[in-house]
Amino acid sequence: MTLPPPHSSPGPLPRFPADFLWGVSTSAQQIEGAVDEDGRGRSAWDAFTAVPGRVKDGTDSAVATDHYHRYREDVALLAELGAGAYRFSVSWPRVLPDGTGRVNAAGLDFYDRLVDELLAAGVQPLPTLYHWDTPQPLEEAGGWLVRDTAHAFAAYADVVAARLGDRVPRWITLNEPAEVTLLGYGLGVHAPGRQLLFDALPAAHHQLLGHGLALQALRARGADSVGIANSHGPTWPASETAADRDAADLYDLLLNRLFADPLLLGRYPDEELAALLPGPVADDLKLISQPLDWYGINYYQPTRVGAPDPATPTTDFGGIPLPPELPFAPREITGRPRTAFGWPVVPEALTELLTAFRDRYGAALPPIVITENGCSYDGVEDPERIAFLDAHLRALHDAMAAGVDVRGYFVWSLLDNFEWAEGYAQRFGLVHVDHETLTRTPKASFHWLRDALRAQR
């Protein structure tokens, strides 16, 4: 599959099932703002962005897109788009400012209003309980490196479900535990800024344990549709040499199988790796592998990986500096269009990923929802984003035609937002946000997707 030329007018999308769930995604830390209002506590990302040099443009998310005050305007945009569902995240420190204990009623009230506004607009709410904003008091106590955080997360899940569960049909526990582990604790380029390399692995296990405990809490509150949102992508060896294949296999293990295998197979993909993890791992895996109603996949790009080679040094991965002692090294994927973020555009790799999941996990794989897929491009006229979305939806349809059970697709993101360590330089939104005035302007891709969704009805 190849992308259509950026300024072409793609034909109609293939037909998706009538009950296919179409939506868009956001996260609290990236859009809400109001970080010091109405009793919200501090998050690990608030602490991280306060350190000069950690965000490329020196910004923070104190205001972001001001969704906290402008949520009605944003829900109206969702209704205009024709989105069937809105995947947002609940801010843990807005609900529990200390991470445990005292509940901030004003924080729960905000999500109560948001859910009611969505339902009135005919948009299904899909909350994510954790999208990287660990309450700073918990982070200072060890964060996801310690087991107590998993239990604190389950208690928080219970508080949110008790308030919203009567109107919320679907839930997501965690978003992208791989990135939290590897970028936040392993490399230190995301919050909390730790540089532990392979000593970050306890953060992976404790997040998965937190997922299992939160799943129990949600079920106890009557939730009957629960998933997780994991980031996945194919890993391609730089060559067929044994060294490159071994390096790619290790990278694939850390990014893909380390998080999918425990959830879907009830085991870690490598016994030596499992031996490095803390706690009663075998007992924990019984909690981690409780059946899911669906499995969320965030897909952006494949990765080409080889063995470290002094003759062809690689110092960064997508702009992220890598220490030289790692046993693998990214290699450039050539001959592909690139987003403004520099990521290669490879829609057919989504088909490859989904069919590989079907083959690896078989009957253990529940229905899949694409919980994130999108791209960064500048401008309100954004034909490149239209081409990206069109090609990826066709690739998704190809996977479904090949027998992969996919039930929904969510675009990242509704709004241009605070893009973590990139600040406001990268624009993933269907809606342009002027970060000075906060004016929302739907992009050409917004109108294209609106029309495409109407044609699916």
Q: Are 13 and 452 in contact (CB under 8 A)?
A: yes
Query: What whole-number distance in Å separates Cα of residue 433 and Cα of residue 428?
Result: 10
Q: Are 395 and 1 in contact (CB under 8 A)?
A: yes
Q: Is the pLDDT of residue 319 over 80?
A: no
Domain membership flag for residue 42:
yes
Domain membership flag for residue 164:
yes
Torsion of CA 292, 297, 302, 304, to 10 degrees: -40
User: Based on the structure, what is the number of domains in the chain?
Assistant: 1
At 1 the pLDDT is 43
Q: Is 265 helix (H, G, I), strand (E, B) or coil?
A: helix
Q: pLDDT band at 321, cuts 50/70/90?
A: confident
Q: Is the pLDDT of residue 388 over 80?
A: yes
Query: What whole-number distance in Å separates Cα of residue 141 and Cα of residue 148?
Result: 9
Q: Are 218 and 211 in contact (CB under 8 A)?
A: no
Query: Model confidence over 3-12: pLDDT tens digits?
Result: 444 434 568 9
pTM above 0.75, yes or no: yes
Residue 281 structural domain: 21-456
Half-sphere exposure of 227 (CA within 13 A, CB side): 23
Domain membership flag for residue 10:
no
- The question of whether 332 is a catalytic residue gets the answer no
Quickly tell me which residue has 């069937």 as its tokens: 84
Q: Is 235 helix (H, G, I), strand (E, B) or coil?
A: strand
Query: Model confidence over 27-54: pLDDT tens digits?
Result: 999 999 999 999 999 999 999 999 999 9
Q: Is 442 helix (H, G, I), strand (E, B) or coil?
A: strand
Query: Model confidence over 343-371: pLDDT tens digits?
Result: 999 999 999 999 999 999 999 999 999 99
Other CB atoms within a 10 A radius of the CB of residue 381 amount to: 14
CA distances from 297 to 16, 99, 183, 365 (A): 18, 27, 18, 12
Work out the average pLDDT over 104-126.
Answer: 98
Share of the chain above pLDDT 70, in %: 97
Domain membership flag for residue 15:
no
Q: Is the pLDDT of residue 130 over 60?
A: yes
Q: pLDDT band at 2, cuts 50/70/90?
A: very low
Half-sphere exposure of 206 (CA within 13 A, CB side): 21
Domain membership flag for residue 365:
yes
Query: Model confidence over 195-209: pLDDT tens digits?
Result: 999 999 999 999 999
CA distances from 3 to 12, 156, 211 (A): 15, 43, 37
Query: What whole-number distance in Å separates Cα of residue 393 and Cα of residue 343?
Result: 18
Q: Angle, nearest 10°, between helix axes 258-265 and 348-361?
A: 40
At 315 the pLDDT is 62
- The question of whether 348 is a catalytic residue gets the answer no
Query: What whole-number distance in Å separates Cα of residue 79 and Cα of residue 67?
Result: 16
**CATH (domain of 404):** 3.20.20.80
In what order do the strands lie in the sheet containing 303-306? Answer: 235-237, 303-306, 329-331
Domain membership flag for residue 226:
yes
Consecutive H or E run containing 358: helix 348-361
Query: DSSP letters of 394-426?
Result: HHHHHHHHTT--EEEEEEE-SB----GGGTTS-
**Among residues 139, 372, 384, 419, which one is catalytic?**
372
Burial call 302-316: b when 16+ CB within 10 Å, e when fewer: bbbbbbbeeeeebee
At 4 the pLDDT is 47
**Among residues 117, 139, 176, 419, which one is catalytic?**
176
Q: pLDDT band at 190, cuts 50/70/90?
A: very high
Q: For 82-172, where are the alpha helices, taking DSSP H only?
A: 92-95, 105-120, 136-140, 148-164
Q: Is the pLDDT of residue 337 over 90?
A: yes
Q: Are 299 and 232 in contact (CB under 8 A)?
A: yes
At 410 the pLDDT is 99
Phi and psi dihedrals of 294, rounded to 5? -165, 160
Q: Is the pLDDT of residue 140 over 90?
A: yes
At 377 the pLDDT is 98
At 313 the pLDDT is 66
Q: pLDDT band at 323, cuts 50/70/90?
A: confident
Tokens of 261: 């295998």
Work out the average pLDDT over 66-95.
Answer: 98
Domain membership flag for residue 6:
no
Domain membership flag for residue 7:
no
Average pLDDT, the chain: 96
